[in-house]
Structure 1
Amino acid sequence: MGKMTKKRLIAPAIVAVAAIAAAVIWALFLSGGSAGGLKETKKVKISIVTSGIGTTFPPGFNENDNPYLDYIEKNTNLDINVILPPVESYEEKLSIIMSSGNLPDMLHAVDEVWVANYARQGKLEALEDLIDQYGPELRKKIPKEAWDKVTYNGRIYAVPSMNEVKGIELMYARKDWLDRLGLKPPQTLDEYYEVIRAFALNDPDGDGKDNTIGLLLTENLGRSAPFFGAFGTQLDQWLERDGKLVYSNTLPETKEALGFLRKLYAEGLIDPEFPLNRSRNLEEKIVSGRVGLFSATWYDTRGPIELNKQRDPKAEWIPLEFPTGPNGRKGVYATSPIRAMEVVPAGSPNAASVIRMLNFIAGEGHSNLKLGFENEIWTMNNGKMVTDFAEHLKHQYRGIYSALVDVVEPELDKQRLDSLGEHFHLYDNLQRIEKNLIPDRFTGLPTPAMGKYMMKLSGLKDVLMKIVVGVYPLDEFDHYVERWRHEGGDEITREVNDWYHASAP
């Protein structure tokens, strides 16, 4: 073979080998690896849209210039541009962004219906292959039930951010009031009725005035979950009955619970202002000493309960057993396993880099982003975590990044909650709630009919509150159920049960 012929054969081979080597190096770079010690230094630029969650930044810092974002960028070799739309009408802003011609590489969504609609329209990237390749920590730490909620037609359209809290409400009461009136902590629904009545009518604070509240609720029947649980139901959930899923707001058990609350209200035992109460009103009434029993959130021991104890050193608060109803039922609603979803617009060239970023946040970076940096936000003292509250509050903005893909790690969560003050019993409260959960049995993406009808049907729920306060008779509940069914509820129920039977093992 002549020299010219050999050159013509060798040159293409060299080019081919060089191309393969370049491809290997680029693939290793995307996966965070290196090739024979050769390390790519150029950062991949990505843009993400997320919620500012109402936090502020210390002077000199912002969403694109702070040590926590620097920490993520350094460990992922990414250059991340963070965009924070106004908190008001956040999902509406996301829709505007999705309709624009300048799409980011990732959006942080909190509305399941929003995600479902865009997934069905083909406007979101399917992520399962990228997760398998670049997201081992995501696969390991996010359970199947969470992936199910972001799966449509067998494909994954979002990375779920987990909700570490499985339930919210539990009953708390003032033990000093119980002792003064010679009452034991209530357990059954009948015993709760007697305590609520005594707290409203028998001057439990001993000041000789008619100024105490038997039971404190908030607008839209907020803080009532344990009383619905005593009848085996909860509001706004899908529960199983005879092998089918039914909407809880339409159940006879819900009517019974409304009847119980209606009786309390008619007898003047429920705060008459409850339809107007918001969280701030609830807190003010507890702190002022007018309330001795209510359905608390698991963190109220660190909020209004603690403030009441500071104002009145004689106030002694204790958790109660959940009220048990006539059929032995009790419990409260379970929260959704996910609190938010990270989606990638279809066609994004940087989808792999987004998954690498989320994988770091869920894995190696989780502890520092969740807790803050050790010896800056917290320290270990005799095996216990001690939080510097001033620094903790100053750097709460780190939650913007940890919330992108939160994961549940019980031991870490216990350390974190105990570091906020073991006397608040935050972790104990969560454990008490978790033993008494009534789960929502529908765990899929919202169905098409939900997108069409659910907002309108939610507006009908006002009838339930009006039944409690006596504007409507109790039997108006039956008319509410008929309207709910005929104005889209039956169609939603069919789709929910189609999903339920298709997902059965």
Structure 2
Amino acid sequence: MKLGKQSAVFAVLGVIGIAGCSFPLNEKYSGETSETIRKPVIKIVVNSLGMTFPDGMDPNSNPYLDYIENNTGVEVNVTLPPLNGYDEKLNVIMTSGEPPDLLNTTSASWFMSYVNQKALTPLNDYIEKYGENLKAKIPKDVWEHVTVNGNIYAIPSLNEVKGTEIVYARKDWLDKLGLQPPRTVEEYTEVMEAFARRDPDGNGKKDTFGLSIMERLGRTSPFLGAFGAQMNAWYERDGKLVYSGILPEMKQALAYLRTLYEKDLLDPEFPLNKIDVLGEKVASGRVGLYSAAWSDTRTHIAASREKDPKAEWIPLDYPVGPDGKHGVYSTSSVRSYNVVPIQSRNAEAVVKFLDFIAGPGHKSLKLGFEDKVWTRVNGKLSIRFEEHIKHGYRGIYGALADTVEREVTRDRLEGLGEQYRLYDNVQRVESNLMTNRFDGAPTPAMGKHQVKLSKLQEETFTRIVAGLSPLEEFDEFVKRWKDSGGDEITGEVNDWWRDNRQGIVK
């Protein structure tokens, strides 16, 4: 079965009107004397993370924003653009003539593009004066991600965990078909064949997949790792860094996935599978083996168990490839970038705002208010789930300057339900990471070329796996990648490697 390539659909977004920065005047009266206090107002444009607000609350009126404002003396005006086309929307805002005081993006390419345009405020002096918690909580090597020519152009938010994917399978299906949990790629393929062809759910229909993945080859990391490569990473070869997407190992991995597709073991609808679609297939019993996010035991896998009480899911060892390789991608240390446009005059207030989130405000923004959302019972965190869900929007603010406190992470994950094994999953993922050797700020050439190169890679790899292009197109992709800016990026990455490799643990 052949599928047409999925068309990307982008929302046509209107321009958000953003007023200039202002300082409202609060007056306190003592007898006949009027004392005027200037309170800074910052306008911020941030990611909603798909969160919603309880009735009677909105992004600018809720207890968590009040908590931040009361502790920083900064008034915050929040804009949440639509998630679809978010970075394109930020581009519109940046060119509006009066951009806000803070924009947040997860895109390293977007960040570097505006560094190249000299459109961002260097923050070194402000962080030195007003960023005590930021300096204490953000490691030195992470600051390198946002430092160009000695200037800090963004305040980073950190990824709480270092990786994402972990393979889960239906043990009840394995048992029914007389199969053991797979370990090697060959054993995995045998399980996929059984799940696709031997009616593991017993309904007499051919309606189950051997493996399901996502659009853009999402959720394939363990299978790529079996061949020694991951998407969008840099590995050392003969003393130099090379891009993973052009390695022979990647071609081998694509060939394996293509074989699964040709054998009807791979979900033929994968180019259309967004996360909610894949999650529905897991929950409805059409998928019995897939690369889950470590948190899926509390979402899609939990939904599967709720619909079918016999569904028993277990984590698997990562597949081992023909050369003994295995592992999954490591996430960047940086979750997102907070930048201050050069036109803003409120960098001081922005840094104070983010410094509180990273420091004193971290625990309440991560866990919710104590005694309201959670309490501690016998030394363990006890979460009031109705309040936890109601207050989930707090993550919009906390994610702006997330820091890593392992005890808070463990408390939170175990408090969400020990039956979900969330903290165990995180540890399993983190013990099987394939390290990306490039750990610096996005290079200037990345700012110029990364978006088009990423699109080229996504489209080419999808077409190869779906049988719409021959495997040999990979070789043409490598040439096009190099000629379209990849060689320029590689040169800059290796300049960084030459200057920094002495400090990198190998």
TM range (shorter): 0.7 to 0.9
Q: Shift of residue 249 of structure 1?
A: 1.2
Is 2:119 the counterpart of 1:120?
Answer: no
Other-structure match for 1:452: 448
Query: Match of 1:229, as an amino acid?
Result: G
Alpha-carbon separation, structure 2, partners of 1:107 and 1:456: 23
Q: Shift of residue 42 of structure 1?
A: 5.0
Alpha-carbon separation, structure 2, partners of 1:218 and 1:64: 35
Match of 1:272 among 264, 268, 271: 268
Q: Shift of residue 348 of structure 1?
A: 3.7
Other-structure match for 1:198: 194
Match of 2:400 among 375, 399, 404: 404
Tell me how large the CA RMSD over aligned residues is.
2.0
CA contact (8 A) 2:41 2:77 kept: yes
Match of 2:350 among 349, 354, 360: 354
Q: Shift of residue 40 of structure 1?
A: 10
Other-structure match for 1:475: 472
CA offsets per residue over residues 287-323 of structure 1, 9 Å max, x none? Answer: 2222221111111111221111122211111000000
Other-structure match for 1:484: 481
Summarize the alignment of residues 79-478 of structure 1 with structure 2, pairs less than 5 Å apart. 79-346=75-342, 348-461=344-457, 462-478=459-475
Match of 1:499 among 482, 491, 496: 496
Residues 265 and 121 of structure 1, relative CA distance in 2, 3 Å threshold: closer
Residues 52 and 308 of structure 1, relative CA distance in 2, 3 Å threshold: closer
Which deviates more, 160-169 or 461-470?
Answer: 461-470
Query: Match of 1:273, as an amino acid?
Result: E
Alpha-carbon separation, structure 1, partners of 2:100 and 2:287: 49
Identity of aligned residues (%): 56
Q: Number of residue pairs matched? A: 467
Query: Match of 2:166, as an amino acid?
Result: L
CA contact (8 A) 2:220 2:291 kept: yes
Which deviates more, 449-458 or 68-77?
Answer: 449-458
CA offsets per residue over residues 428-468 of structure 1, 9 Å max, x none? Answer: 11111001111222222322222332222223222222222
Alpha-carbon separation, structure 2, partners of 1:265 and 1:103: 47
Alpha-carbon separation, structure 1, partners of 2:42 and 2:273: 44
Alpha-carbon separation, structure 1, partners of 2:204 and 2:89: 54
Q: Shift of residue 111 of structure 1?
A: 2.1
Query: Match of 2:228, as an amino acid?
Result: G
SS of 1:330's equivalent in the other structure is: coil
CA offsets per residue over residues 90-131 of structure 1, 9 Å max, x none? Answer: 333333333344343322232222222222333222112221
Alpha-carbon separation, structure 1, partners of 2:284 and 2:40: 55
Uncovered stretches (5+) of structure 2, i.e. residues with no partner: 1-34
Alpha-carbon separation, structure 1, partners of 2:433 and 2:37: 50
Residues 339 and 487 of structure 1, relative CA distance in 2, 3 Å threshold: same
CA contact (8 A) 1:56 1:397 kept: yes
Q: Shift of residue 75 of structure 1?
A: 1.4
Query: Match of 1:191, as an amino acid?
Result: E
Alpha-carbon separation, structure 1, partners of 2:151 and 2:130: 17
SS of 1:503's equivalent in the other structure is: helix
Structure 1 segments of 4 or more deviating over 6 A?
none
Which deviates more, 425-434 or 82-91?
Answer: 82-91
Alpha-carbon separation, structure 2, partners of 1:482 and 1:186: 37
Larger Rg over CA atoms: 1
Residues 115 and 210 of structure 1, relative CA distance in 2, 3 Å threshold: closer
Alpha-carbon separation, structure 2, partners of 1:129 and 1:387: 40
Q: Shift of residue 41 of structure 1?
A: 6.3
TM-score for both structures, normalised by structure 1: 0.88
Alpha-carbon separation, structure 1, partners of 2:419 and 2:383: 14
CA contact (8 A) 1:171 1:293 kept: yes
Alpha-carbon separation, structure 1, partners of 2:82 and 2:316: 40
CA contact (8 A) 1:444 1:499 kept: yes
Q: Shift of residue 65 of structure 1?
A: 2.0
Query: Match of 1:299, as an amino acid?
Result: S
Query: Match of 1:447, as an amino acid?
Result: T
Query: Match of 1:170, as an amino acid?
Result: I
SS of 2:87's equivalent in the other structure is: helix
CA offsets per residue over residues 391-441 of structure 1, 9 Å max, x none? Answer: 122222211211120111111011111121110111111111001111222
Q: Shift of residue 231 of structure 1?
A: 0.8
Query: Match of 1:495, as an amino acid?
Result: E
CA contact (8 A) 1:113 1:445 kept: no
SS of 1:346's equivalent in the other structure is: coil
Which deviates more, 309-318 or 442-451?
Answer: 442-451
CA offsets per residue over residues 152-182 of structure 1, 9 Å max, x none? Answer: 0011111101111211111111111112222
Alpha-carbon separation, structure 2, partners of 1:95 and 1:187: 46
Alpha-carbon separation, structure 2, partners of 1:480 and 1:80: 46
Uncovered stretches (5+) of structure 1, i.e. residues with no partner: 1-38
Residues 59 and 180 of structure 1, relative CA distance in 2, 3 Å threshold: closer
CA offsets per residue over residues 20-50 of structure 1, 9 Å max, x none? Answer: xxxxxxxxxxxxxxxxxxx996533333332
CA contact (8 A) 1:145 1:337 kept: no
Which deviates more, 443-452 or 235-244?
Answer: 443-452
SS of 1:107's equivalent in the other structure is: strand
CA contact (8 A) 2:214 2:272 kept: yes
Which deviates more, 471-480 or 87-96?
Answer: 87-96
CA contact (8 A) 1:226 1:332 kept: yes
Q: Shift of residue 147 of structure 1?
A: 0.8
Query: Match of 1:140, as an amino acid?
Result: A
